Structure 1
Amino acid sequence: MATTYDTIELKIPARPEFVSLGRLTVSGIASRIGFSFEAIEDLKIAISEAITNAVKHAFNEEDTGEIRIAFAVYEDKLEVTVTDEGKSFDAEKRKMEIGPYEEDEDADMLRVGGLGLFLIEALMDDVELHYDGGVSVVMTKYIEEKQVEGNAKIIST
């Protein structure tokens, strides 16, 4: 049996002033399907990082393109895909250049740039990167809180 889901799509110019539209959209969708306040905040930060990365790295100042944000709404999760058609980059190579962050390191000494991917991976349940004439970041967040709250009510009564 095929899994059913609803799809919502948003296309924005690859410019910093449009990052907030992605945040507002994910906030509205996540709220509607029952995510907790904390999970919604995580989603907003992750999508902001993904869009900002696309704005910064995919296009140069003369060649601003567009960013496509697709929201796949499942019964138990939200999958957000941020896609640009700009120049691609090697995320694993970039991670090796900047990380990993060690607890005993001075935070002021962290190299700038690329931390967005670490943050996205920390906030989301699953993250996939695809390179095909651009970069797609697929971020998945499960609606676990509903299950946890339901179980807590059953146990406590």
Structure 2
Amino acid sequence: MNEAFDFVEMRVPAKAEYVGVARLSVSGIASRMGFAYDDIEDLKVAISEAITNAVRHAYQDEPGEVTIGFGVYDNRLEVMVADRGGSFKLEDIKQSIGPYRHDEKINNLREGGFGLFLINALMDKVEINNEHGVIVLMTKYLSEVEVDVSDDQISTT
């Protein structure tokens, strides 16, 4: 059974000056969904790292574009960042990628280095496909329990 979701897609030139456009977009989507401030900041950093890696490594001597897709679900936000790719078919992409495994050699991934570790630390789930360019799928779940100022857990539902 397929879960209902909204899908927002955007393409930006593979230039560092367009990272801010994606950061603003994810901030607006996550805010509308009800994410906490800290989670929105985590999303912004993770998407910035993914796009910056695509800009640095995918198109070194040629113009290109980065495609960013947002899968908006009731309980989570899935963000996909792809280089050298066309439009996303979310369900097809999800079938062909797998989770990042800590036992994989990081040098085998173009997203290698600190950026991938940072993305993995900030997001709830990270999956990568590097068969045709690189697709990074990052998932952040909408928290239903938050900590109050007094350190007591409170329900947001």
TM (norm. structure 2) is 0.77
The equivalent residue for 2:12 is: 12
**Would you tell me which structure has more strand in proportion to its own residues?**
2
Bigger drift between 48-57 and 130-139 goes to 130-139
Which residue identity is paired with 2:17?
E
Deviations along 1:53-108, one digit per CA (max 9) or x if unpaired, are: 000011113x121000000000000000000018xxxx943358xxxxxxxxxxxx
In 1, the alpha carbon distance for the partners of 2:54 and 2:155 equals 42
2:106 to 74, 89, 94: 94
1:31 aligns with 2:31: yes
Measure how far apart 1:133 and its partner are.
Answer: 1.4
When the two chains are superposed, the root-mean-square deviation of aligned CA atoms in Å is 2.4
The residue aligned with 1:107 is none
* Partner of residue 133, structure 1: 132
Measure the CA separation in 1 of the matches of 2:22 and 2:31.
14
* Alignment of 1:66 onto 2:65: yes
Partner of 2:92: none
Unaligned residue ranges in structure 1 (runs of 5+): 97-112
Of all paired residues, the percent bearing the same amino acid is: 54
Structure 2, gaps ≥5 residues long: 86-100, 148-152
> Residue 133 of structure 1: SS of its match in structure 2?
coil
Shift of 1:114: 1.6
Judging by fraction of residues, say which structure has more helix: 1
Query: How many corresponding residue pairs?
Result: 132
CA 1:95/1:124 → structure 2, altered by over 3 Å: closer, same or farther?
farther
- Report whether the alignment pairs 1:56 with 2:43: no
Q: Hey, what's the Cα distance between the residues in 2 that align with 1:67 and 1:153? A: 37
**Higher gyration radius (CA):** 1
1:148 corresponds in structure 2 to: 145
